[in-house]
Amino acid sequence: MRFIVQSQLLLKSLQTVGGVLNANSTLPILENFLFEFNGENLVVTASDLETTMTVKIPLDKETLGEAQEGKMAIPAKKLLESLKTFADIPLVFNINEETFMVEITAGEGKYKLSGQNADEFPQIPVLEDTTKLEINSSIIANAINKTLFATGNDELRPVMSGIFCELTPDDITFVATDAHKLVRYRRTDAKSESSASFILAKKPLTQLKNSLTNKDIPVMIEYNQRNAFFSFENIELVCRLIDGKYPNYEAVIPRENPNKLVIDRISFLNSIRRVAIFANQSTHQVRLKLSGQEIIISAEDLDYSNEAKERLTCSYDGEPIEIGFNSKFLQEMLNNIDNEMVRLEMSQPNRAGILMPMDNENKDEDILMLVMPVMLNQS
């Protein structure tokens, strides 16, 4: 097998799919990229069995000459490390499928490395009885960005380690929760002909997010009971769905929240950032004291006699209330809202608070964030 490819084009393509690879794979073959050349396109695949990603690289026919077809598994780490050292120059790959030797010619340099039999590489899952759906890439990228941080890491509750996707003829909803915080992101400008729901794992979603950055293109989604398949431009990704029943997220969202705070997002975020430095480093608790048209944000660490307090003006409608939250959760949520003003709705100091943007410019977007309170230390 012989072909010519530009080094930077190959490097960028390998970096796109390389995030799928595991550092310590149980199968040695999965530490390789699968290279397949069909005479026109070079198709590179990476897999960890759960997620498989391929990128198609069109090659210049004029420079190929007597290019030969074939396939080979090539060590990912060594190839990536070497490609990073090259300027943007053409690389000539000569691959012997009988001895599994890969020879790369770059300018005046020649490099040899040992590959593996491509037949040992796992087969890409073929999806049957699928439902198809097309969504704009900006919607998917936004949904992942706004929800991924709220997913859990508890191995005993795998369903909460992914994002729950709920498709209906009216809208599409993405939900993530770790039992301490919850994000519900809904779009009315994306719909499905039939109702369905499934749970997508964190890793393929991270890969999707990285590949869709700053793009505005259609993404074809296919799914069945076991897998989901994403296709856009020259990239394909297939991943296994998380098996299990997602918790009833609507049931935990409190409906009656008479105490409403409206405040400038950046001022609120920066104040929490500063005050949180003085909070207890295990609970990260900050205290919000609301009355009239002001909010007092405070934190203390009794073990080290550290404390901080700030006063901000705000618009508050409700009874005076004192409530504690984990500052890290609040910061994550405020960082993932784009609007200038935010609204925090509360009912009781022991009930969840609801955070949402004020006057969302995008009428097709509905975002709601829920954060559980932290019990206040009585001082």
**Is-contact 100 114, C-beta < 8 A?**
yes
C-alpha span between 74 and 44 (Å, rounded): 10
Quote the pTM value.
0.92
Roughly how many angstroms between the first and final C-alpha of the chain, as a whole number? 74
Q: pLDDT tens for the chain, 379 residues: list them.
A: 888 999 999 999 999 999 999 988 889 999 999 999 987 889 999 999 999 999 999 887 665 556 678 999 999 999 999 999 999 999 999 999 999 999 999 989 999 999 999 999 999 888 999 999 999 999 999 999 999 999 999 888 999 999 999 999 999 999 999 999 999 999 999 999 999 999 999 999 999 999 997 789 999 999 999 999 999 999 999 999 999 999 999 999 999 999 999 999 999 999 999 999 999 999 999 999 999 999 999 999 999 999 999 999 999 999 999 999 999 999 999 999 999 999 999 999 999 999 999 987 788 999 999 999 998 765 4
Could you tell me which CATH class the domain 253-371 is placed in? alpha beta
Domain boundaries, the chain: 2-120, 131-250, 253-371
**Is-contact 208 237, C-beta < 8 A?**
yes
Tell me the fold of 131-250: DNA Polymerase III; Chain A, domain 2 (3.10.150)
* SS3 label, residue 287: strand
Query: Within the chain, what is the greatest distance between any pair of CA atoms?
Result: 80
Same topology between domain 2-120 and domain 253-371: yes
Q: Does domain 2-120 have CATH number 3.10.150.10?
A: yes
